[in-house]
Amino acid sequence: MTETLGHTPDTARQADPFPVKGMDAVVFAVGNAKQAAHYYSTAFGMKLVAYAGPETGSRETASYVLTNGAARFVFTSVIKQATDRGRFLAEHVAEHGDGVVDLAIEVPDARAAYAYATEHGARGIEEPYEVKDEHGTVVLAAIATYGKTRHTLVDRSGYDGPYLPGFVAADPIVEPPAKRTFQAIDHCVGNVELGRMNEWVAFYNKVMGFTNMKEFVGDDIATEYSALMSKVVADGTLKVKFPINEPAIAKKKSQIDEYLEFYGGAGVQHIALATNDIVATVRTMRAAGVRFLDTPDSYYDTLGEWVGDTRVPIETLRELKILADRDEDGYLLQIFTKPVQDRPTVFFEIIERHGSMGFGKGNFKALFEAIEREQEKRGNL
Ligand code: TYF
Ligand code: FE
Protein backbone atom coordinates (compact mmCIF):
# COMPACT_ATOMS: atom_id res chain seq x y z
CA MET A 1 0.00 0.00 0.00
CA THR A 2 2.67 2.50 1.00
CA GLU A 3 5.45 1.02 -1.18
CA THR A 4 4.42 3.08 -4.18
CA LEU A 5 4.72 6.33 -2.23
CA GLY A 6 8.47 5.87 -1.93
CA HIS A 7 8.68 7.64 1.42
CA THR A 8 8.64 4.77 3.84
CA PRO A 9 11.41 6.09 6.13
CA ASP A 10 9.67 9.46 6.61
CA THR A 11 6.34 7.79 7.13
CA ALA A 12 7.90 5.48 9.68
CA ARG A 13 9.53 8.41 11.48
CA GLN A 14 6.25 10.30 11.68
CA ALA A 15 4.57 7.25 13.13
CA ASP A 16 7.16 7.01 15.91
CA PRO A 17 5.42 8.31 19.07
CA PHE A 18 8.73 9.38 20.62
CA PRO A 19 11.22 10.21 17.87
CA VAL A 20 14.84 10.67 18.97
CA LYS A 21 17.88 11.95 17.10
CA GLY A 22 20.42 10.16 19.33
CA MET A 23 22.24 10.60 22.62
CA ASP A 24 22.82 14.29 23.33
CA ALA A 25 25.27 13.93 26.22
CA VAL A 26 26.24 11.85 29.23
CA VAL A 27 26.42 14.25 32.18
CA PHE A 28 28.57 13.29 35.17
CA ALA A 29 28.54 14.89 38.64
CA VAL A 30 32.10 14.58 39.96
CA GLY A 31 34.22 15.83 42.84
CA ASN A 32 36.77 17.57 40.64
CA ALA A 33 35.55 18.35 37.12
CA LYS A 34 38.82 20.11 36.23
CA GLN A 35 40.79 16.90 36.78
CA ALA A 36 38.09 14.71 35.18
CA ALA A 37 38.31 16.88 32.04
CA HIS A 38 42.06 16.28 32.05
CA TYR A 39 41.67 12.48 32.42
CA TYR A 40 39.09 12.16 29.63
CA SER A 41 41.35 14.32 27.42
CA THR A 42 44.65 12.56 28.06
CA ALA A 43 43.45 9.00 28.76
CA PHE A 44 40.32 8.73 26.57
CA GLY A 45 41.45 11.04 23.75
CA MET A 46 38.46 13.38 24.04
CA LYS A 47 38.55 17.09 23.25
CA LEU A 48 37.48 19.91 25.58
CA VAL A 49 35.12 22.11 23.54
CA ALA A 50 33.09 24.16 26.01
CA TYR A 51 33.16 25.44 29.57
CA ALA A 52 30.92 27.18 32.08
CA GLY A 53 32.20 28.36 35.46
CA PRO A 54 32.76 31.44 37.57
CA GLU A 55 34.65 33.17 34.73
CA THR A 56 31.54 32.86 32.53
CA GLY A 57 28.99 33.83 35.19
CA SER A 58 28.30 30.35 36.63
CA ARG A 59 29.25 30.93 40.27
CA GLU A 60 27.87 27.72 41.76
CA THR A 61 29.22 25.01 39.42
CA ALA A 62 31.98 24.43 36.90
CA SER A 63 31.23 22.29 33.84
CA TYR A 64 33.55 20.95 31.16
CA VAL A 65 32.17 19.62 27.86
CA LEU A 66 34.29 17.07 25.99
CA THR A 67 33.52 15.47 22.65
CA ASN A 68 34.86 12.75 20.40
CA GLY A 69 32.94 12.67 17.13
CA ALA A 70 29.25 12.57 18.09
CA ALA A 71 29.98 11.41 21.67
CA ARG A 72 29.64 14.17 24.24
CA PHE A 73 30.46 13.99 27.98
CA VAL A 74 29.85 16.80 30.47
CA PHE A 75 31.62 16.90 33.86
CA THR A 76 30.17 19.14 36.55
CA SER A 77 31.45 20.00 40.03
CA VAL A 78 30.01 22.23 42.72
CA ILE A 79 32.25 25.16 43.64
CA LYS A 80 30.05 26.87 46.22
CA GLN A 81 26.55 25.58 46.76
CA ALA A 82 23.84 28.24 46.48
CA THR A 83 20.70 26.72 44.89
CA ASP A 84 18.76 23.45 44.89
CA ARG A 85 20.61 22.42 41.71
CA GLY A 86 23.96 22.83 43.48
CA ARG A 87 22.68 20.96 46.49
CA PHE A 88 21.47 18.09 44.31
CA LEU A 89 24.86 17.80 42.60
CA ALA A 90 26.84 18.06 45.84
CA GLU A 91 24.65 15.46 47.54
CA HIS A 92 24.88 13.21 44.48
CA VAL A 93 28.67 13.17 44.69
CA ALA A 94 28.60 12.70 48.49
CA GLU A 95 26.21 9.76 48.21
CA HIS A 96 27.22 8.06 44.96
CA GLY A 97 30.77 9.23 44.27
CA ASP A 98 31.53 10.33 40.72
CA GLY A 99 28.61 9.17 38.59
CA VAL A 100 26.12 9.89 35.84
CA VAL A 101 23.27 12.27 36.68
CA ASP A 102 21.82 12.63 33.19
CA LEU A 103 21.55 10.53 30.03
CA ALA A 104 20.46 13.44 27.84
CA ILE A 105 18.63 12.54 24.64
CA GLU A 106 18.45 14.76 21.57
CA VAL A 107 14.90 14.97 20.23
CA PRO A 108 13.33 16.94 17.38
CA ASP A 109 10.66 18.40 19.71
CA ALA A 110 11.34 18.52 23.46
CA ARG A 111 7.83 19.80 24.28
CA ALA A 112 6.18 16.92 22.42
CA ALA A 113 8.60 14.38 23.91
CA TYR A 114 7.99 15.65 27.46
CA ALA A 115 4.21 15.65 26.92
CA TYR A 116 4.25 12.08 25.56
CA ALA A 117 6.52 10.80 28.34
CA THR A 118 4.60 12.37 31.22
CA GLU A 119 1.24 11.31 29.73
CA HIS A 120 2.61 7.75 29.67
CA GLY A 121 3.72 7.63 33.29
CA ALA A 122 7.09 9.41 33.47
CA ARG A 123 7.74 11.68 36.45
CA GLY A 124 8.50 15.16 35.15
CA ILE A 125 11.49 16.91 36.72
CA GLU A 126 11.59 20.02 34.54
CA GLU A 127 8.74 21.28 32.39
CA PRO A 128 9.85 22.37 28.91
CA TYR A 129 11.71 25.68 28.92
CA GLU A 130 13.83 27.70 26.50
CA VAL A 131 17.39 28.92 26.95
CA LYS A 132 18.91 31.42 24.52
CA ASP A 133 22.12 33.22 23.75
CA GLU A 134 23.70 34.77 20.65
CA HIS A 135 23.95 31.26 19.09
CA GLY A 136 20.20 30.64 19.19
CA THR A 137 17.61 28.84 21.31
CA VAL A 138 17.55 25.38 22.90
CA VAL A 139 14.40 23.79 24.31
CA LEU A 140 14.99 21.55 27.34
CA ALA A 141 12.80 19.37 29.56
CA ALA A 142 13.67 16.55 31.96
CA ILE A 143 12.09 13.34 33.22
CA ALA A 144 13.21 10.94 35.95
CA THR A 145 14.49 7.41 35.33
CA TYR A 146 16.09 4.79 37.65
CA GLY A 147 17.82 5.92 40.84
CA LYS A 148 18.54 9.64 40.78
CA THR A 149 19.29 9.55 37.07
CA ARG A 150 17.34 11.75 34.68
CA HIS A 151 16.79 12.09 30.94
CA THR A 152 17.03 15.65 29.76
CA LEU A 153 15.23 15.99 26.43
CA VAL A 154 17.14 18.41 24.23
CA ASP A 155 15.94 20.15 21.07
CA ARG A 156 19.01 21.96 19.76
CA SER A 157 17.77 22.39 16.16
CA GLY A 158 17.66 26.18 16.67
CA TYR A 159 21.17 26.39 18.12
CA ASP A 160 24.73 26.46 16.79
CA GLY A 161 26.81 27.24 19.89
CA PRO A 162 29.48 24.99 21.44
CA TYR A 163 27.03 23.24 23.84
CA LEU A 164 24.20 25.11 25.57
CA PRO A 165 23.53 28.78 26.30
CA GLY A 166 25.75 29.80 29.21
CA PHE A 167 28.72 27.81 27.88
CA VAL A 168 31.63 29.35 26.04
CA ALA A 169 33.94 27.62 23.56
CA ALA A 170 37.11 26.26 25.17
CA ASP A 171 40.48 25.21 23.77
CA PRO A 172 41.54 21.55 24.00
CA ILE A 173 43.55 20.65 27.13
CA VAL A 174 45.97 18.59 25.03
CA GLU A 175 46.08 17.92 21.30
CA PRO A 176 43.74 14.91 20.77
CA PRO A 177 45.35 11.73 19.36
CA ALA A 178 45.96 11.85 15.59
CA LYS A 179 43.49 8.99 15.21
CA ARG A 180 40.06 9.40 16.86
CA THR A 181 39.66 6.92 19.73
CA PHE A 182 35.86 6.60 19.36
CA GLN A 183 33.09 8.45 17.56
CA ALA A 184 29.73 7.80 19.20
CA ILE A 185 27.93 6.51 22.25
CA ASP A 186 26.81 2.98 21.40
CA HIS A 187 24.74 2.18 24.51
CA CYS A 188 24.26 3.26 28.13
CA VAL A 189 23.62 0.59 30.76
CA GLY A 190 21.67 0.95 34.00
CA ASN A 191 21.87 -1.22 37.10
CA VAL A 192 18.60 -1.46 39.04
CA GLU A 193 17.57 -3.20 42.25
CA LEU A 194 16.75 -6.93 42.49
CA GLY A 195 13.41 -7.69 40.85
CA ARG A 196 13.00 -4.29 39.22
CA MET A 197 14.45 -4.89 35.73
CA ASN A 198 11.09 -5.65 34.13
CA GLU A 199 9.55 -2.54 35.68
CA TRP A 200 12.21 -0.34 34.06
CA VAL A 201 11.95 -2.17 30.75
CA ALA A 202 8.17 -1.51 30.86
CA PHE A 203 8.94 2.14 31.71
CA TYR A 204 10.92 2.60 28.47
CA ASN A 205 8.31 0.64 26.51
CA LYS A 206 5.51 2.92 27.73
CA VAL A 207 7.20 6.28 28.24
CA MET A 208 9.43 6.35 25.14
CA GLY A 209 7.85 3.67 22.95
CA PHE A 210 11.21 1.84 23.00
CA THR A 211 11.08 -1.85 22.07
CA ASN A 212 12.99 -4.82 23.47
CA MET A 213 16.00 -6.08 21.54
CA LYS A 214 16.37 -9.82 21.22
CA GLU A 215 19.55 -10.09 23.25
CA PHE A 216 18.98 -10.63 26.94
CA VAL A 217 20.44 -12.55 29.87
CA GLY A 218 17.74 -14.81 31.26
CA ASP A 219 17.41 -17.12 34.24
CA ASP A 220 19.46 -19.88 32.62
CA ILE A 221 22.61 -17.82 32.08
CA ALA A 222 22.06 -15.89 35.33
CA THR A 223 22.15 -18.85 37.67
CA GLU A 224 24.84 -20.67 35.70
CA TYR A 225 27.53 -17.96 35.87
CA SER A 226 26.52 -14.33 35.38
CA ALA A 227 24.64 -13.52 38.62
CA LEU A 228 22.70 -10.91 36.67
CA MET A 229 19.68 -10.58 34.43
CA SER A 230 19.63 -8.11 31.58
CA LYS A 231 17.26 -6.83 28.91
CA VAL A 232 17.85 -4.17 26.27
CA VAL A 233 15.41 -1.48 25.13
CA ALA A 234 16.04 0.74 22.09
CA ASP A 235 14.35 3.34 19.94
CA GLY A 236 13.13 2.23 16.51
CA THR A 237 16.30 3.44 14.76
CA LEU A 238 18.61 1.72 17.31
CA LYS A 239 20.47 4.99 17.89
CA VAL A 240 19.59 4.99 21.58
CA LYS A 241 20.10 1.63 23.30
CA PHE A 242 19.61 1.13 27.03
CA PRO A 243 20.40 -2.28 28.55
CA ILE A 244 19.00 -2.69 32.08
CA ASN A 245 20.65 -5.11 34.55
CA GLU A 246 19.42 -6.46 37.86
CA PRO A 247 21.23 -8.80 40.25
CA ALA A 248 20.37 -12.51 40.22
CA ILE A 249 20.77 -15.01 43.00
CA ALA A 250 23.62 -17.26 41.88
CA LYS A 251 26.60 -19.13 43.30
CA LYS A 252 28.59 -15.92 43.74
CA LYS A 253 27.73 -12.45 44.96
CA SER A 254 26.43 -10.51 41.98
CA GLN A 255 28.60 -7.79 40.43
CA ILE A 256 25.33 -5.82 40.26
CA ASP A 257 24.94 -6.08 44.06
CA GLU A 258 28.50 -4.84 44.43
CA TYR A 259 27.63 -1.84 42.25
CA LEU A 260 24.36 -1.11 44.10
CA GLU A 261 26.13 -1.34 47.45
CA PHE A 262 29.00 0.99 46.52
CA TYR A 263 26.98 3.40 44.35
CA GLY A 264 24.23 3.58 46.96
CA GLY A 265 21.38 2.51 44.70
CA ALA A 266 20.43 2.25 41.06
CA GLY A 267 22.44 4.15 38.45
CA VAL A 268 24.44 4.06 35.26
CA GLN A 269 26.88 1.13 35.17
CA HIS A 270 28.69 1.47 31.87
CA ILE A 271 28.82 3.58 28.74
CA ALA A 272 29.82 1.80 25.53
CA LEU A 273 31.77 3.84 23.00
CA ALA A 274 31.77 2.94 19.30
CA THR A 275 35.05 2.87 17.40
CA ASN A 276 36.02 1.72 13.90
CA ASP A 277 39.54 0.71 14.98
CA ILE A 278 39.45 -0.96 18.38
CA VAL A 279 43.09 -2.06 18.07
CA ALA A 280 44.38 1.50 17.66
CA THR A 281 42.01 2.75 20.39
CA VAL A 282 43.07 0.13 22.93
CA ARG A 283 46.76 0.69 22.17
CA THR A 284 46.34 4.45 22.62
CA MET A 285 44.29 4.15 25.80
CA ARG A 286 46.56 1.49 27.34
CA ALA A 287 49.61 3.66 26.59
CA ALA A 288 47.82 6.55 28.34
CA GLY A 289 47.31 4.42 31.46
CA VAL A 290 43.73 3.16 31.10
CA ARG A 291 43.33 -0.27 32.71
CA PHE A 292 41.19 -2.89 30.97
CA LEU A 293 39.80 -6.18 32.27
CA ASP A 294 42.08 -9.14 31.73
CA THR A 295 41.04 -12.15 29.63
CA PRO A 296 42.67 -15.56 30.12
CA ASP A 297 44.78 -16.93 27.27
CA SER A 298 42.51 -20.00 27.09
CA TYR A 299 39.74 -17.75 25.68
CA TYR A 300 41.88 -17.14 22.58
CA ASP A 301 42.85 -20.80 22.17
CA THR A 302 39.29 -21.67 21.06
CA LEU A 303 38.05 -18.26 19.83
CA GLY A 304 38.91 -18.84 16.14
CA GLU A 305 36.90 -22.08 16.05
CA TRP A 306 33.58 -20.39 16.74
CA VAL A 307 33.98 -16.71 15.87
CA GLY A 308 35.42 -17.28 12.37
CA ASP A 309 37.29 -14.58 10.47
CA THR A 310 37.47 -11.09 11.93
CA ARG A 311 39.22 -7.95 10.66
CA VAL A 312 41.74 -8.33 13.48
CA PRO A 313 43.93 -11.46 13.74
CA ILE A 314 43.27 -13.60 16.83
CA GLU A 315 46.86 -13.03 17.96
CA THR A 316 46.27 -9.26 18.11
CA LEU A 317 43.02 -9.78 20.02
CA ARG A 318 45.00 -12.01 22.44
CA GLU A 319 47.76 -9.44 22.85
CA LEU A 320 45.30 -6.63 23.70
CA LYS A 321 42.69 -8.81 25.55
CA ILE A 322 39.94 -7.78 23.14
CA LEU A 323 36.81 -9.99 23.10
CA ALA A 324 34.95 -11.06 19.94
CA ASP A 325 31.43 -12.37 19.34
CA ARG A 326 29.40 -13.36 16.29
CA ASP A 327 25.67 -13.73 15.60
CA GLU A 328 23.55 -14.18 12.46
CA ASP A 329 24.03 -10.51 11.47
CA GLY A 330 27.82 -10.30 11.79
CA TYR A 331 30.40 -9.87 14.51
CA LEU A 332 31.62 -7.39 17.10
CA LEU A 333 34.85 -6.71 18.99
CA GLN A 334 34.67 -5.31 22.51
CA ILE A 335 36.70 -4.63 25.64
CA PHE A 336 35.85 -3.28 29.09
CA THR A 337 37.80 -0.90 31.30
CA LYS A 338 38.13 -1.48 35.00
CA PRO A 339 36.06 0.96 37.10
CA VAL A 340 37.35 4.51 36.48
CA GLN A 341 36.98 5.72 40.08
CA ASP A 342 37.84 4.19 43.48
CA ARG A 343 34.30 2.93 43.97
CA PRO A 344 33.66 -0.26 41.93
CA THR A 345 30.89 1.47 40.00
CA VAL A 346 31.09 3.18 36.58
CA PHE A 347 33.20 1.70 33.76
CA PHE A 348 33.43 1.95 29.98
CA GLU A 349 33.25 -0.42 27.03
CA ILE A 350 34.90 0.09 23.64
CA ILE A 351 33.01 -1.64 20.84
CA GLU A 352 33.66 -2.13 17.11
CA ARG A 353 30.62 -3.50 15.29
CA HIS A 354 30.65 -5.36 11.98
CA GLY A 355 26.98 -6.09 11.36
CA SER A 356 26.14 -7.55 14.75
CA MET A 357 23.74 -5.42 16.80
CA GLY A 358 24.19 -7.66 19.85
CA PHE A 359 26.01 -6.95 23.09
CA GLY A 360 28.53 -9.79 23.19
CA LYS A 361 26.40 -12.60 24.57
CA GLY A 362 29.06 -15.16 23.57
CA ASN A 363 31.48 -13.34 25.87
CA PHE A 364 29.29 -13.17 28.94
CA LYS A 365 30.97 -16.14 30.60
CA ALA A 366 34.56 -14.90 30.01
CA LEU A 367 33.56 -11.32 30.83
CA PHE A 368 31.70 -12.07 34.02
CA GLU A 369 34.52 -14.32 35.23
CA ALA A 370 36.95 -11.44 34.61
CA ILE A 371 34.70 -9.08 36.59
CA GLU A 372 34.50 -11.64 39.40
CA ARG A 373 38.30 -11.86 39.58
CA GLU A 374 38.32 -8.08 40.16
CA GLN A 375 35.49 -8.34 42.71
CA GLU A 376 37.52 -10.97 44.56
CA LYS A 377 40.59 -8.68 44.68
CA ARG A 378 38.37 -6.01 46.24
CA GLY A 379 37.08 -8.49 48.82
CA ASN A 380 33.52 -8.22 47.49
CA LEU A 381 32.82 -11.72 46.23
O1 TYF B 1 25.94 -3.93 27.62
C2 TYF B 1 25.96 -5.14 27.67
O3 TYF B 1 24.93 -5.80 27.81
C4 TYF B 1 27.27 -5.85 27.52
C5 TYF B 1 27.47 -6.95 28.50
O6 TYF B 1 27.86 -6.07 33.94
C7 TYF B 1 27.55 -6.60 29.91
O8 TYF B 1 28.30 -4.92 27.56
C9 TYF B 1 26.46 -6.76 30.72
C10 TYF B 1 26.56 -6.57 32.07
C11 TYF B 1 27.77 -6.22 32.62
C12 TYF B 1 28.87 -6.00 31.83
C13 TYF B 1 28.74 -6.18 30.47
FE1 FE C 1 27.75 -3.07 27.04
DSSP annotation string for 300-341? HHHHHHHH---SS-HHHHHHHT-EEEEETTEEEEEEEBPPSS
Q: Which of 337, 349, 351 has the most ligand 1 atoms within 8 A of CB, as the residue to mutate?
A: 349
- Do residues 345 and 338 lie in contact, with contact meaning Cβ atoms separated by under 8 Å? no
Q: What letter represents residue 16's amino acid?
A: D
Average pLDDT over every residue of 142-146: 98
**pLDDT tens digits, one per residue of 248-275:** 988 788 999 999 999 999 999 999 999 9
Tell me the ipTM for this assembly. 0.96
CB of 230 within 6 A of ligand 1: the answer is: yes
Q: Does residue 4 surpass a pLDDT of 60?
A: no
Alpha-carbon distance of 270 to 176, in angstroms, equals 23
Find out whether the beta carbon of 362 lies less than 6 Å from any atom of ligand 1: no
Mean pLDDT, residues 165-178 taken together? 97
Region 106-135 average pLDDT: 98
Measured in angstroms, how far is the CA atom of residue 191 from the centroid of ligand 2?
Answer: 12
Would you say the CB of residue 159 lies under 6 angstroms from ligand 1? no
pLDDT at 13 over 60: no
pLDDT reported for residue 57: 95
Counting ligands in written order, the one closest to the CA of 361 is: 1
pLDDT tens readout for residues 340-377: 999 999 999 999 999 999 999 988 888 888 899 999 99
CA gap 73, 67 in Å, rounded: 6
Report d(CA 349, CA 146) in Å as an integer: 21
Ligand 1, closest atom to CA 187?
1
pLDDT at position 12, please?
A: 52
Ligand 1 atom having least distance to the Cα of 245: 10
- Residue closest to 153 by CA, chosen among 166, 138, 140, 137: 140
Atom 10, ligand 1: which residue's CA is nearest? 245
Query: CB-based contacts of 380: which residues, under 8 Å, 6+ apart?
Result: 253, 258, 261, 344
Q: What was the pLDDT predicted at 316?
A: 98
Q: What Å distances lie between residue 298 and 224, 279, 302, CA to CA? A: 20, 20, 7
pLDDT, average across residues 40-51: 98
C-alpha distances in Å from residue 170, one per residue of 47, 61, 147, 302: 9, 16, 32, 48
Q: What is the mean pLDDT of residues 283-304?
A: 95
Phi-psi bin for 250: left (phi > 0), alpha (psi -120 to 50), beta?
Answer: beta
CB neighbour class for 10 (10 Å; exposed up to 12, middle 13-18, buried from 19)? exposed
Whole-number Å distance, alpha carbon 349 to ligand 2 midpoint, is 6
Pairing of strands 150-155, 99-106: parallel
Tell me the one-letter amino acid at 121: G
- What is the average pLDDT across 136-158? 98
- CA angle (45, 47, 52) in 5-degree steps: 140
Look at residue 303 and tell me whether its pLDDT is greater than 50.
yes
Q: What is the predicted pLDDT for the residue at 295?
A: 93
d(CA 111, CA 153): 9
Query: For residues 227 and 168, which has the higher predicted lDDT (pLDDT)?
Result: 168
Distance 72 CA to ligand 1 centre (A): 21
Mean pLDDT of 86-99: 98
Work out the widest C-alpha separation in the chain, in whole angstroms.
63
Q: How far is CA 40 from the centre of its chain?
A: 15
User: Which amino acid residue places its CA nearest to atom 1 of ligand 1?
Assistant: 359
Statement: residue 224 has pLDDT above 80: no
The pLDDT of residue 137: 98
Higher pLDDT, 220 or 181: 181
Lowest mean pLDDT among 181-195, 205-219, 346-360: 205-219
At residue 1, the pLDDT reads 32
How many angstroms separate the Cα of 253 from the Cα of each of 129, 287, 334, 350?
Answer: 44, 33, 25, 26
| Atom of ligand 1 at shortest range from CA of 269 | 6
371 and 269 Cβ atoms separated by less than 8 Å: no
How many other β-carbons are positioned within 10 Å of the β-carbon of residue 278? 27
- Answer whether 346 contacts ligand 1 (Cβ < 6 A): no
| Ligand 1 pocket, residue 163 CB under 6 Å | no
Q: How large is the average pLDDT for residues 117-133?
A: 98
Task: Give the pLDDT of residue 5.
Answer: 41
Q: Report the nearest-CA residue for atom 2 of ligand 1.
A: 359
Question: How far is residue 40's CA from residue 285's CA, in Å, rounded to a whole number?
Answer: 10
- Mean pLDDT of the chain, nearest integer: 94
**Is the CB–ligand 1 distance for residue 349 below 6 Å?**
yes
- Best mutation site among 186, 230, 233, 371 for ligand 1 pocket (most ligand atoms within 8 Å of CB): 230
pLDDT at 192: 98
